[in-house]
Amino acid sequence: MATIQPIAGENEQHPDVALVERVRAGDVSAYDTLVRKYDRQVFRIAQHITQNREDAEDVMQDAFLKAYEKLDQFQGNSKFYTWLVRIAVNESLMRLRKRRTGKMVSIDEDIETEEGSVPRDLADWAPDPEQNYSQAELAEILRKTIQGLPQGFRIVFVLRDVEGLSTEETAETLNLSVPAVKSRLLRARLQLRERLSRYFRRKKVPKEMGVDK
């Protein structure tokens, strides 16, 4: 059973905290290090939310600039990475709102779908099914599949399963409750599984041909 750990003391602080301290003291090169460390993640999250490359480029710049400006507000009690992700998610949603003026963009909205709640496609997948596709084909399949998820499911899946945030960090980042994150994560995983089955399921072999020789 895990014991409750005190908040990391001076001697065990996360390396990012030291970098943040250096930036605050005026060392811009330390910020360069932080940007290089997390730019791919920020770009990826922005792409997943905006689903538009140009928007993702803008979001990446805006998110890092905003984080730089607001660095004084960063409190060492959360990870710099999750703090940055939160800024990136907000910037991405703002970008979406601008693009779709008048249309509400929210990750809080109730998602009224039962799709994927109960697995329907129960065919097993081929072993290493991704090997039946080229890298480019596979990337296209994965993009298309995840883009079809409702926004609120997609963000939860991306933060939790792709970017490796904990359930609690995902909840905090998205201003959702932990049970809401859990429920969306389960449905996101099941819906993705169901949709990928179309491509990855074991091909049926006609009975008479099923036995070699």
Partner 1 sequence: MTCTEFLALLDDLIDDSVTPETRAELQQHLQGCEHCEVTLSTTRKTIEIYRSHEIYDLPPSLRERLHAAIMARCKKGC
The residues binding partner 1 (CB under 8 A) are 28, 31-32, 35-36, 39-40, 43-44, 47-48, 56-57, 60-61, 64-65, 68-69, 118-119, 122-125, 129-130, 138-139, 142-143, 146, 157, 161-162, 182, 185-186, 189-190, 192-193, 196-197, 200
Least Å distance, CB 11 to partner 1, is: 29
CA distances from residue 23 to 38, 68, 83, 138, 194 in whole angstroms, order as listed? 16, 9, 16, 40, 46
Identify whether the C-beta of residue 55 lies closer than 8 Å to the C-beta of residue 99: yes
From the CA atom positions of the chain, what is the Rg in Å?
A: 21
Query: Distance between CA atoms of 146 and 129, rounded to whole angstroms?
Result: 17
14 versus 202: smaller Cβ distance to partner 1: 202
Least Å distance, CB 17 to partner 1, is: 19
Least Å distance, CB 213 to partner 1, is: 28
Query: Distance between CA atoms of 153 and 146, rounded to whole angstroms?
Result: 9
8 versus 113: smaller Cβ distance to partner 1: 113
48 versus 86: smaller Cβ distance to partner 1: 48
9 versus 127: smaller Cβ distance to partner 1: 127
6 versus 210: smaller Cβ distance to partner 1: 210
* Cβ-proximal residues to 82 (8 Å cutoff; 6+ apart), any chain: 165, 169, 172, 173
Identify whether the C-beta of residue 173 lies closer than 8 Å to the C-beta of residue 89: yes
Least Å distance, CB 9 to partner 1, is: 27
